[in-house]
């Protein structure tokens, strides 16, 4: 009899769960069935109370299993911040935590993530590979725009965040999650980038930002997070006193914290660098590189056809070996404060330089000038997290229109942190040797410069004449 009652409990729980999901209310008969199942479900406590204790426990466990918890998708990196968030979300909100790690080219940082996430209490971990999408649809628009923030920062983190936000929304929809959680701090730019992306793509999904929820998020340092994880049986290979805060993807790796928080201190490059060596430690010989582009997109590297992601990977190796692309920056964050970081962008620095080397041969003066302004604005838009906006789309449309003839070959040498040009060719080159040569040619008549200078300098001459007239009138009084 008790076995029958236990089976009945399990059956009711299973049917009730599926009825809730399917919402069978299309016909009067369906409503009667659902009413019966609901009544049976509400009677379960009475039925369970009459079952033997061991069977009762089993029934209660089944009941707990089949009552669906709300889900949250956690942007998971496997680092200290996001690992601590898993047990915290479960304890604070009673959420079913689904982790999503978006692979933008982090390399071996993805090793062991599944085990770590499950050990920390996550019900599921997605590892979504978007390396090619990131390369083609986020990196290349920035390269083609020449987008550099405050003259130095090549937007490695900035351009990755909207790509990650888009994937988080996709997983949230797939899992029917009610919320997305990120581990960005309340002082940084990433909170803005993640949340603007999520709001633009899924305005109905709740966003949880623990570092701004100081009433329930009591951890204020990496030491606090380590202690919290250890208290929950999660032992992590991190040491708060000897660990930079890093962000890595295919394009770059950033370093913040420790001695970098004091602008008067030099970076400890020996302890810091991951992708590169310093120029002083680079080889005492040049590395020759040849690249080809078609309509602004890199196609071959040293004679070998490759995808964009593969070209960047190889350029990272070559650039890292030669000390290319290490920058120490104090930048102005969107939230109003200055921050200091060291960025390693070996492949990105080379790719940007190679693309610019080709463009200067092809684009006319007015287009170059306009594109320079657009590139600066594009960098600002991306840095501020406004990727999914009409403005970014409009700016990118202009940039794409300038790339139609950016086709050709560039050669350069890498040597101790330097990129040295070694020749550029293009079928669309606007460089004309007959015009540019110091030797007089048929296409250029020096006498034409007389009229041009007269007209070009006319505003200056008129102003100067007026000032002389005013001064003369003063002296005659």
pLDDT of residue 188: 94
81 is catalytic: yes
pLDDT of residue 16: 43
Catalytic residue (one of 96, 120, 161, 276): 161
pLDDT of residue 404: 98
245 is catalytic: yes
Catalytic residue (one of 123, 245, 309, 339): 245
pLDDT of residue 9: 52
Catalytic residue (one of 77, 120, 158, 190): 190
pLDDT of residue 403: 98
Assign 3-class secondary structure to the chain. CHHHHHHHHHHHHHHHHHHHHHCCCCCHHHHHHHHHHHHHHHCHHHHHHCCCHHHHHHHHHHHHHHCCCCEEEEECCCCHHHHHHHHHHHHHHCCEEEEEEEECCCHHHHCCHHHHHHHCCCCEEEEEECHHHHHHHHHHHHHHHCCCECCCECCHHHHHHHHHHHHHHHHHHHHCCCEEECCCCCCCCHHHHHHHHHHHHCCCCEEECHHHCCCCCCCCCHHHHHHHHHHCCCCCCCCHHHCCEEEECCCCEEEECHHHHCCCCCCCHHHHCCCCCCHHHCCCCCEEEEEEEECCEEEEECCEECCHHHHHHHHHHHHHHCCCCEEEEEEECCCCCEEEEEEECHHHHHHHHHHHHHHHHHCCHHHHHHHHHHHHHHHHHHHCCCCCCHHHHHHHHHHHHCCCCCCEEEEEEEECCEEEEEEEECCCCCCCHHHHCCCCCCCCCCCHHHHHHHHHCHHHHHHHHHHHHHHHHHHHC
pLDDT of residue 223: 86
284 is catalytic: no
pLDDT tens, the chain, 477 aa long: 544 544 455 454 444 444 433 333 333 344 455 555 555 545 545 544 554 444 444 444 444 444 689 999 999 999 889 999 999 999 999 999 999 999 999 988 888 899 999 999 999 999 999 999 999 999 999 999 999 999 999 999 999 999 999 999 999 999 999 999 999 999 999 999 999 999 999 999 999 999 999 999 999 888 899 999 999 999 887 766 667 889 999 999 999 999 999 999 999 999 999 999 999 999 999 999 999 999 999 999 999 999 999 999 999 999 999 999 999 999 999 999 999 999 999 999 999 999 999 999 999 999 999 999 999 999 999 999 999 999 999 999 999 999 999 999 999 999 999 999 999 999 999 998 767 666 666 677 788 889 999 999 999 999 999 999 999 988 887
39 is catalytic: no
pLDDT of residue 194: 98
Catalytic residue (one of 81, 135, 158, 340): 81
């Amino acid at each position: 009899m008790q076995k029958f009652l236990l089976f009945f409990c399990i059956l009711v729980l299973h049917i009730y769960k599926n009825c809730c999901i399917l919402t069978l209310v299309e016909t009067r008969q369906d409503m009667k069935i659902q009413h019966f199942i609901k009544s049976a479900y509400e009677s379960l406590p009475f039925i369970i109370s009459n079952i033997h204790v061991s069977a009762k426990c089993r029934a209660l466990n089944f009941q707990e299993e089949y009552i669906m918890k709300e889900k949250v998708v956690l942007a998971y990196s496997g680092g200290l911040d996001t690992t601590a968030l898993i047990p915290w979300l479960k304890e604070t909100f009673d959420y079913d935590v689904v982790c999503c790690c978006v692979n933008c080219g982090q390399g071996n940082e993805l090793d062991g993530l599944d085990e770590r996430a499950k050990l920390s209490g996550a019900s599921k971990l997605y590892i979504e590979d978007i390396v090619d999408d990131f390369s083609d649809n986020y990196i290349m628009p920035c390269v083609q725009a020449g987008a550099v923030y405050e003259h130095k920062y090549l937007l490695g983190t900035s351009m990755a965040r909207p790509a990650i936000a888009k994937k988080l929304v996709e997983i949230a929809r797939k899992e029917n999650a009610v919320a997305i959680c990120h581990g960005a701090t309340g002082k940084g730019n990433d909170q803005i980038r993640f949340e603007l992306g999520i709001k633009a793509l899924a305005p109905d999904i709740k966003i949880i930002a623990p570092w701004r929820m100081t009433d329930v998020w009591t951890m204020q340092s990496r030491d606090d997070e380590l202690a919290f994880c250890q208290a929950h049986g999660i032992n992590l290979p991190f040491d708060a006193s000897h660990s930079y805060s890093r962000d890595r993807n295919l394009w770059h790796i950033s370093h913040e914290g420790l001695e970098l928080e004091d602008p008067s201190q030099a970076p400890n490059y020996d302890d810091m660098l991951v992708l590169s060596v310093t120029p002083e430690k680079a080889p005492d010989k040049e590395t020759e590189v040849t690249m080809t582009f078609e309509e602004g997109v890199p196609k071959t590297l040293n004679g070998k056809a490759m995808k964009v992601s593969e070209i960047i990977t190889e350029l990272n190796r070559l650039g890292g070996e030669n000390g290319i692309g290490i920058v120490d920056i104090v930048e102005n964050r969107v939230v109003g404060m200055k921050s200091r970081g060291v960025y390693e962008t070996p492949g990105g620095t080379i790719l940007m330089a190679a693309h610019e080397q080709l463009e200067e041969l092809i684009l006319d003066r007015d287009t170059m000038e306009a594109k320079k302004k657009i590139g600066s604005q594009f960098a600002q838009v991306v840095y501020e997290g406004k990727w999914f906006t009409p403005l970014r789309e409009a700016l990118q449309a202009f940039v794409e229109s300038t790339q139609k003839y950016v086709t050709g070959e560039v050669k350069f040498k890498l040597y101790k942190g330097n990129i040295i040009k070694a020749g550029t060719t293009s079928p669309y080159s606007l460089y004309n040797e007959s015009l540019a040569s110091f030797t007089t040619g048929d296409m250029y008549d020096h006498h034409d410069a007389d009229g041009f200078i007269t007209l070009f300098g006319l505003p200056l001459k008129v102003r100067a004449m007026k000032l002389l007239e005013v001064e003369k009138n003063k002296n005659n009084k």
